[in-house]
Chains A and B, each alone.
Chain A
């Protein structure tokens, strides 16, 4: 069996030796031209003149294109992947992110106004600088909390409001009643900071128009190439069969590389106009500004407790940022992934939430590793933490009293979602033992007596992973079918190519999909190759996002492989003159049970293609495809505990320990799982302590445009993680697997925040807005000190 083994990643040989093949590495027979973009320097402005005259004649310039040219060419608009209706039943006031400014108004810094295509990058930049654009600045707002204030400038005045949509979910009356009769009510204002993925590889696109065959090719840093192909039908109007989308090695996606970004159709447009392949490689600054940002919720939460600290109900009111436009999937974050998970790992009888999507003059927001759930967990857990302190109940004890007991599964939350399997108390007990909780509390007390500030943070939560089945996701708003696809092609020599509609940009599918296929096919893992990321080679795919690939594409591999085995067994049975049911397949051989009569898998594969001696009704060939629609989402769960030390002088936070106990169902490769948890934790820790897409509140200028100001965690900022697990099988897929890609990221922000608050509670600090930087912690302590005087 390969499944369950910590097999070294087959793709790492090329990655570790610098031999990965990324969009920037692609070479073509023709020389590749380069694109450069003119971007708005203002958060909100009328564009009164775009003068390209000087740029057109500059050295190396092949094309200069503006919004007027886009409109003249008759090209289209972006389309939302996941539109959601307002609770009134009306459509949301959606304005999709423009590819290039066509209406004479720019609404966030970085919006594209013009494009230059030139022989080389420097010539393109020179010409872009020579384009004269006149702007008339308009008042702007980048702050989500202010979006609906009466005097706030409107991002889209035609709508008369900055509100995109309002939705309510849960049990309103029951929640109000719980708050009214509660022994104690905790209230916390919990904004979730705006962050971005900051993938190691910036976004890059290359477009090519084959005028001889009238076909188009786009190479893209994208997680879902077939979905990109779908949206080129809207942007450039290219039919799906005319376009090949290739997503080769991609250096990190995290949801951020899921969208049909403006630069993607623009480079192909540039290629069509200039009759040359055109490439754009985003600079770090272009990407920190123009990659979708994430989170940016402003939430007020209230939680009702009884005398014993049992949670009676919880109510949230959230403003969820869209930025200046709908990116493509953003409506799904608050309306499919955020509210659904508000019960976390707790048995909460009444939950109610109101979410208002709002426009601000900032970069569009969209999904980033966790998408909605980091906000949810952070918000709920901050209330639980403060509630425990306010009521004088040990925070772990209070949580333990509220966990969903194992015998209640499948468990339907007050918000309506059904968790198929889990055992939160077991996770909590493992976490308690792993961290030696009582000893930590004793240490905290001893250190506090010495004037040293130690905090213990924790969270207990469920995730909604494995987006699917199609019907459920359609019902939540998705306009794409949330299944996935795999083909298993056995070649006549018995070797196998697997084609999958998922895309690996760090996940390690070449290893894990091969582990699944090798087990099902009874073959050596080295006899399997994986193909992903090419719409001309892979029949269809929905792509890798939302911790879904294992329970959709992985299951498609499993299912297609089983179909191959079923067909091969019929051929083998014919050749061995036995019944197919009498055959065993293992170690590359079909054996007639109880005998030594056998045939190699390769012999059967060869006969499948080249022998006329076969069952009359058995089609030639040995290749099967599965379009796999899972029975349910998957619901991984976890308990995290951390220890933080806050320097009483500088207020810098040292994250000393971090433990995570996960339930992700069946594990394909524990090393890959740990890698996912580690990476996720670091991103969540970054959100908690340092990452922020900061804007100047007055001018709307972007302040975090380089890594000199956008802080991401370094290796030295995180401890060695202590991981454990307690697995319960997922019921929605035969593998029993649950998604594992987001657990770390979604739990860490709340866990670390609770640790910091726990360290400072005795000083009177009750809440600090993330990221909890030394500056803000110092200020919070100063303010708390003044308040106590």
Chain B
């Protein structure tokens, strides 16, 4: 690790001020990705602004429009939340599939989507469920939030405060994890709401993406069989030790069907 100045502000305003005053400051949420990259000396910052002491950033609320999850809410809290399990069980399943118990007790939804790892689970949840990301400045639609490899629509110093999830009629989560890291090789979140289908894939490209052909087929017939014969092209898909592009393309089809079956499960 390279040296940095550590801050632990008690308010969002204070955090913003400290980030603004720093030369190259970074906010710290759960630290499940940022801290390892810093320990590897792959990333560094002048100031680390720890958000963990700020009240009001964590928590899960059910309201008429859906579910609001605070940016600092831990994966374990989402996994265990009665509100989430009742309204969007697929989201609880997603949270429960992240990393291991230690990671889920520490990692946060806000940290995960801001880091925007190409194999992270939450981006598929955000995009597949059509959530909106609330920052200290604005609300960003899911389709606009993830813009590239480790890149999001966030501006310098902009902090995610919460995420709003609409409650779909049906939603399903299916993940095929890498044997080593248990990150997604391919994972799919599918949802059906008011006749509209969203199907988002993580792990397969530089960032999460939707599959319009599959969505159209599912809008006509929301069943795994409707996806039969719809293949995702392997061109442009990630290749690594654990999966080449052709196998990943195959897995997208398999996981999409499994996500639909999960959505239809009683």
CB neighbors of A among B161-194 (8 A): 176, 178-181, 183
Question: A4 vs B258: C-alpha distance in the bound complex, in angstroms?
Answer: 51
Q: Mark A123-167, 1 if CB is under 8 A from B, else 0.
A: 001000100000000000000000000000000000000000000
Given A690-B180, A709-B240, A778-B250, 8 more contacts at CB 8 Å? A125-B41, A650-B254, A704-B241, A707-B181, A710-B180, A712-B180, A778-B247, A779-B246
Known contacts A703-B241, A704-B241, A773-B242; is-contact A649 B254 (Cβ 8 Å) = yes
B16 to chain A, nearest CB (A): 30
Given the interface pairs A122-B3, A778-B247, A778-B250, the reply to whether A707 lies near B242 with Cβ below 8 Å is no
Indicate if the CB atoms of B247 and A285 lie closer than 8 Å.
no
Known: A649-B254, A690-B179. A779 touches B247 (CB 8 A): yes
Question: Contacts of A122 on B, CB cut-off 8 Å?
Answer: 1, 3
A709-B181 contact given A703-B241, A773-B242, A775-B242, CB 8 Å threshold: yes
CB distance from B19 to the nearest CB of A (A): 24
Please give me the residue from chain A that is nearest to B257 by CB atom. Answer: A649
**Distance A773 CA – B241 CA, assembled complex (angstroms):** 10
Alpha-carbon gap, A2 to B180, bound state (A): 42
Contact of B180 among A129, A709, A778 (CB under 8 A): A709
Question: A644 to nearest B CB, angstroms?
Answer: 15
**B254 cross-chain contacts in A, Cβ below 8 A:** 649-650
A449 at the interface (CB under 8 A from B): no
* Option from B1, B40, B240, B244 in Cβ contact (under 8 Å) with A285: B40
Q: How far is the CA of A689 from the CA of B40 in the complex (A)?
A: 28
CB contact list, A101-126 vs B, under 8 A: 122, 125
Contact with A along B237-266 (1 / 0, CB 8 A): 000111110110011001001100000000
Indicate the size class of the contact surface on chain B: 20 to 34
Could you tell me the distance in whole angstroms from the C-beta of A464 to the nearest C-beta in chain B? 32
A711 close to B180 (CB less than 8 A): yes
Whether a CB of chain B sits under 8 angstroms from the CB of A645 is no
The yes or no answer to A652 lying at the interface (CB within 8 A) is yes
Size of chain A's interface in residues, with CB distance under 8 A? 24
Q: How near does chain B come to A781, taking the closest CB pair, in angstroms? A: 11
Task: Report B150 CB to chain A, min CB distance, Å.
Answer: 15
Chain A residues close to B by CB (< 8 Å): 122, 125, 129, 285, 649-650, 652, 689-690, 692, 694, 703-704, 707-712, 773-775, 778-779
Residues of B within 8 A of A694 (CB): 241
A652/B176 in contact, CB under 8 A: yes
Complex interface: chain B residues within 8 A of A285 (CB): 40
Are the CB atoms of A709 and B1 closer together than 8 Å?
Answer: no
- Say how far A686's CB is from chain B's closest CB, in angstroms: 10
What is the CA–CA distance of A692 and B241 in the complex, to the nearest angstrom? Answer: 10
Known: A125-B41, A773-B242, A778-B247. A711 touches B179 (CB 8 A): yes
Decide if A775 touches B244 in the complex (CB within 8 Å). yes
Please measure, in the bound complex, the distance between the C-alpha atom of A652 and the C-alpha atom of B258, giving whole angstroms: 14
Q: Once the chains are docked, how many angstroms separate the CA of A652 from the CA of B133?
A: 35
Q: What is the CB-to-nearest-CB distance from B227 to chain A, in angstroms, rounded to a whole number?
A: 12
Closest to A717 in B: B179
Closest Cβ of chain A: how far from B114's Cβ, in Å? 20
Candidate in A649, A704, A712 with the most chain B CB atoms within 10 angstroms: A649
B243 contacts A775, CB within 8 Å? yes
Q: Of all chain B residues, which has the CB nearest A126?
A: B2
In the complex, what distance in Å separates the CA atom of A726 from the CA atom of B180? 36
CA distance in complex: A305, B179 (Å): 38
**Contact between chains at A775 and B247 (CB < 8 Å):** yes
Residue numbers in A under 8 Å from B41 (CB-CB): 125, 129
Nearest opposing residue in chain A for B40, CB measure: A285
- Greatest chain B CB density within 10 A among A129, A692, A709 is at A709
Q: Note all chain B residues with C-beta closer than 8 A to A711.
A: 178-180
Say how far A318's CB is from chain B's closest CB, in angstroms. Answer: 26
